[in-house]
Structure 1
Amino acid sequence: MSAKKITIRDVARHAGVSVGTASRAMNAAPGVMEQTRKTVQAAAQDLGYRPNAAARALRSRSSRLIGCLFSDLENPLYMRLFNSLQDRWAEAGFVTLMTSSSGRLEREHRAIATFAERGLDAIVIAPGHEADPELVRLLTAFPGPIFVVDRDTPVEADRLLFDHAGAMRLAVNHLAGLGHRRILPVFSHVTTRPGLMRHAGFDAAMRAADLPLGPRVEPETPNSPVFDEVRAALSAPDRPTAMVVQGTRVLSSALNALANLGLRVPEDVSLVAIGDSALTEDHVPPITSLRLDREAMVDVIVNRVLMQIRDGRSDVQDSLLEYELIERASCARLT
């Protein structure tokens, strides 16, 4: 039998099921038993059947594609998130596409427009320009569900927001409980929700703990080096005795500044990192970190997106994900 002439009817006959069952099994539709799905897929493989993706999309009005737009793939959070999302959605029969804007607005415009042109079923976004009018217009015109990750983008969409204010309270209260009063914040003041909320949350936590607000280091981007700025702050006569530092690249730069000055963690400076990574776990000493529950994050995104694809647009909701303080050996009591 020629592969070009093979149809879903041939697959159904070979598998011993109805055409409808074979079609649902090939499209990973709900309601098909796992053994039946495997039998149909094996029959399709035996016959060399290749479904026409374009025709299938037209019939079902589904491309079986989900897009992700993240502002910065040097952020380990986004790469790990994408890997988990694509694994979970693959189980439901979807392919996940990813693009990064590297903070460039025109890339974000082009990505959203392309996602719409290609008929993607849904998109997950964490843009670098959350309130840009053209970006908002493109998102509003997108025909499928949208899921926003930790941004205040004004569109009708499900959102998962991170509790940055709560994270700052955890960090400041932990360091204050060890006797630290001069705490140096080292995180970017970008005009997206994470940067804005961290600074506001840090200031509020310091005031609540009756601690003075002092100098701060604000890298231009989440990956900007801060060596000179941190070195200058820690060279002052009344230098900070503790730091709260974001990310991986910024954290690495701050650690280099400490080493350059001959300062030790935690004997001379206590340290809390925003975000958990291989660096915080493997550093000597291991670094106390503010960590998000990635599995909880993935569950919310996957389940809400699949529900919206299955049921069409419905009431959208905001979910809040809290940080957990992972205590390691980088913080010491001030003597």
Structure 2
Amino acid sequence: MPKRVTIAEVAKEAGVSIATVSRVLNQRSGKIKISQETDLAVRLAASRLGYQADPFAVALRSRRSGLFGAIIRDIRDPFLVKLYTHMQKHARSNGIELLLGHADYNLAVAGRQANIMGSLWFDALILLGDIPGDRSMIQHLKIYHKPCVAVACGQMEGIPSINIDEKAGTYLALDHLYSLGHRRIACVGDPNAIGIQERLVHFKEYASAHQLTVEEGYFQVCANQRLEAASCAERLMRLPNPPTAIFCGSDVMALGVLNQLHRIGAKSVSVIGFDDIDESAQVFPALTTIRQPVQVFAEKAILLALEMMDEPEGKTSAPQILIQPELVVRESCFPVA
């Protein structure tokens, strides 16, 4: 391994003191101002010698490493992956590297990852997607006194969270179907994911308030997977009075439903999703859906974590931020025949 260049060697190359090199490279001010010529000489010398700052030494001095940790519920979930990608972009624009841990729905794995990130060089922790039982784990993280932000995990007492307005999103979707004349609207969703669980609750509220025809079998429950959602679509179409439209708790399920409907020739049934993952615009027919604006989520999550790092010690803020959804009209919904 090549020997690490020291600031003493940079000082010798530039013809200045070690203290001057330290001030220039660490961007520290002092009583005596450093001239532009000296500043440039130090930086050129550091560049010629290939000097690189020791990140651990910098972290010890500044008490910051420039590292955020993120724990994602499921790396196969296209919405969460899209969210993480945008979050990483915003982190880097603020000089932060966002490193990822994959929990794969396993609370014990998430707990180990959270303990590592909480106790070592990480400045903040971001949780992407809820895991059943994760409330106790998140409360445990408070012992590390580090910023922790929960994104798309549902609202949490005492922990800052950023979520979509689930009621607004569900009502946007159902209002769109209602405006097209649909009254027999079925629902496909996964009650184990807290966001989708809330959408199912608001679906029932809307159906009751608008006197929709919700016959036995219209409420289909399955995992957030295409094949399971496809099976739900087939069961719905076998009912004596099948629905004219299907509201899906996620785009993943909606794509499975849409594919199965076309496979069995039920192309007149409208389908609407939730999330607006990239594939939704690429399939045929393109999926009408509710957009969760991931750029807004990402920016708010990173800025919130940075703001919490600057808070006075002992102050604990826990804002509960709701992001407004958007209706994206494409080709998968149409008026009742």
**Distance 1:59-1:200 versus aligned 2 partners, 3 A rule:** same
CA deviation vs aligned residue, 1:249-284 (integer Å, no higher than 9, x gap): 4233212321232111xxx10111112123221222
| Corresponding residue for residue 6 of structure 2 | 6
2:307 — aligned with what?
Answer: 307
Mapped partners of 1:48, 1:68: distance in 2:
32
Partner of 2:220: 217
CA distance in 2, matches of 1:210, 1:8: 78
> Mean alpha-carbon deviation: is it higher for 124-133 or for 168-177?
124-133
Confirm or deny that 1:289 pairs with 2:296: no
Q: Give the partner amino acid of 1:67.
A: G
Q: Structure 1 length as normaliser, TM-score?
A: 0.85
Gaps of 5+ in 1: 26-35
> What is the aligned length?
320
The alignment's TM-score, normalised by the length of structure 2, stands at 0.84
Opposite residue 289 of structure 1, the aligned amino acid is T
Q: 1:203-227 CA distances to partner (integer Å, 9 max, x unpaired)?
A: 1111222213332221134566222
Asked if the contact 1:12/1:19 (under 8 Å) is kept, the reply is no
Matched, 1:232 2:262: no
**Aligned mate of 1:325, from 306, 324, 327:** 327
Q: Which amino acid aligns with 2:301?
A: I
Displacement of 1:167 after TM fit? Answer: 0.9
In the alignment, which of 162, 166, 169 is matched to residue 167 of structure 1? Answer: 169
Q: Secondary structure at the match of 2:26?
A: helix
Partner of 1:22: 25
Of 42, 53, 56, which residue of structure 2 is paired with 1:54? 56
Distance in 2, Cα, partners of 1:274 & 1:292: 8
User: Structure 1 CA distance, aligned partners of 2:311 and 2:76?
Assistant: 34
Answer whether contact 1:89 1:302 (CA < 8 A) is retained: yes
Identity %: 21
CA pair 334-103 structure 1, distance change in 2 beyond 3 A: same
Cross-structure match for 2:195: 194
Secondary structure of 2:247's counterpart equals strand
Given the superposition, is the C-alpha separation of residues 217 and 96 from structure 1 closer, same or farther in structure 2, using an over 3 Å criterion? Answer: same
1:104 corresponds, among 98, 106, 124, to 106
Q: Report how far residue 176 of structure 1 moved.
A: 1.0
Among 88, 91, 94, the residue aligned to 2:90:
88
Native 8 Å contact 1:130 1:151 kept in 2: no
| AA in 1 matched with 2:237 | L
Distance 1:21-1:135 versus aligned 2 partners, 3 A rule: same
Code of the aligned partner of 2:214? L
Q: Aligned residue for 1:31?
A: none
Unpaired stretches in structure 2, ≥5 consecutive residues = 29-37
Which residue does the alignment assign to 1:142?
A: 144
Distance 2:127 2:197 in 1: 18
**Aligned alpha-carbon RMSD (Å):** 2.9
